[in-house]
Amino acid sequence: MTQTAASEKKRLKLYLITGLSGAGKSSALKVLEDLGYEAIDNLPVTLLPNVVDLVLSDGKQDSRPALAIGIDARTRNFQPDKILESLATLRARDDITVKILFFDSSNETLAKRFTETRRKHPMAQDRQVTDGIIRERRMMDIIRAEADFLFDTSGVGIQELRQTLSHQFEREHGGELSIMISSFAYPKGLPRDADLVFDVRFLQNPHYVADLKALTGLDPAVQDYVAADPRFETFWTKISDLIFFLLPEYKEEGKSYLKIAFGCTGGRHRSVTLAEKMAQSLNKNGYKANLYHRELMIKE
């Protein structure tokens, strides 16, 4: 291994986990911890350089050190401009790769979460939750504008968030493009973090076939029915050609994660069928593709 390669391998991967209270930061930090990152929550920003140096100097640390730090409005002396100044200093070092992961949700979603959990908002101890949300959003705008990754968790369950983060931030991906293939129902909203979305509602719907209605796109009978649509083969050929053309271009650009979503009316038949078929095709051709069927994960 060359000196340059060895240096790159030892570079510390530092992720700053921040965003609005109630938007999923704690869950995200836990996911990264499960992926092997050293995770520290609510760290005063003045201590960040010391922690970085400690991790890099630890002789027992693995060859690909990785650190996830949670910082938000609860943090002592929280000042967004000072945080960005500290991160700029760290970004200038040649032994660290720094990324900001910002978690956000709509004001309505955040208010609902605080109401359901009966927690007080950290910036609304003596006032309405909505006041704290608005105040925090204004304060966090400066950091949001500098974020490398934005995650809107409105309408996103913990399982979907875990799936997304797990595949996007795997520590040992070897430079390969990690691909998530998902299915969803249009009436329940588009996946907010999808890169490519395909609408398959024009295909014949198994929902209206008595013997198929209770099944899903995981069942061969449903898959055969969807594939029997006269338009299916042409559609499949065109989107396959498009995706296989795009993948090496994305990889060349340096993209490490791609989410492709297929949507239909109920998210249980046609979209699942296409997602399954696409994942199988990608894996067969040497890509790393994982599956997530959003509506099948939701218990009725």
Point out the annotated binding site for GTP. 72-75
Alpha-carbon torsion, ordered 163, 168, 172, 174, to 10 deg: 130
Contacts of 105 (CB under 8 A, 6+ apart): 20, 22, 23, 24, 113, 152, 153, 154
Angle at which helices 80-91 and 129-144 pack, to 10 degrees? 30
Question: What one-character DSSP code corresponds to residue 297?
Answer: G
- Enumerate the known binding-site residues: 19-26, 72-75
How is residue 187 written in tokens?
């009436």
- Cβ atoms within 10 Å of 13's Cβ, excluding its own: 16
- Closest listed residue to residue 100, CA positions, set 151, 137, 63: 151
- Enumerate the known binding-site residues for ATP: 19-26
Residue 185 pairs in a beta bridge with 264
